[in-house]
Each structure stands twice: as structure tokens, then as C-alpha cells.
Amino acid sequence: MTNPCLPECGVARFLTLLNGPWATLIVRELLHGPRRFTELRDALPGISPHTLTSRLRQFEEHGIVTRTAYAEIPPRVEYRLTAAGEGLREVLEAMATWAMSIPAPAPDTAS
């Protein structure tokens, strides 16, 4: 059964699940292994805590990320990719390969 909140088209579904400029970068960081919230925030300069929290919650709802809270003082929470999230490794590698194949624009020498 498909989730009624997600589009039927695979590309549209991908874009819905990984919407916004930060989503793929968060996944990129989690591909290195479990991370705490502050580690993710520090690895992504410019991301607001609200945006990071929102994306992590969305990923958790869709089974891309698991959140583990440890009963410690101070409390410790780790985020880890699920098997579905790990499946994004090949997608991100293909995106990076494709992007690096595009030459940088030549400097503007008209001035």
C-alpha cells in the first residue's frame, strides 16, 4: 500500500522526501555513521536548528532515519540512517559524479 501523502511518480516522491537544500546534505553527513544533533549542525554551517529538527523528524516519519535517545545525563540522542536511508548512498554518489562532469563556467573576460 502506498502512502497517500506521497506522489505516485518516483521522481516526484524523491523530491518530496528530500525537499529543500539541506535534505541531501544531512543524508550525506549521516552516510558517515551515526551523528548527534550538534555534530550535524556543526557539519552544516548555515543550517538553523529549526530546519535541522524539521528535516530529521520528516526523515524519521518516512523511515529514512532512526532516532535513539540514551538515558544518560546529559541526555544523548543519535541519528542514524535506516536501510532505506543507506540506499541513498548510490543516489548521492551518482549526483556527485554527474555534477563534477559539468565544467565550471569560464571566467568573464568582457570587463
**What is the predicted pLDDT for the residue at 90?**
93
User: Which tens digits make up the pLDDT trace of 61-96?
Assistant: 999 999 999 988 888 899 999 999 999 999 989 988
- Fold exhibited by the domain 10-97: Arc Repressor Mutant, subunit A (1.10.10)
**What is the predicted pLDDT for the residue at 3?**
53
SS (H, E, C) the chain: CCCCCCCCCHHHHHHHHCCCCCHHHHHHHHCCCCEEHHHHHHHCCCCCHHHHHHHHHHHHHCCCEEEEEECCCCCEEEEEECHHHHCHHHHHHHHHHHHHCCCCCCCCCCC
User: Which tens digits make up the pLDDT trace of 4-52?
Assistant: 577 788 788 787 788 888 999 999 999 999 999 999 999 999 999 999 9
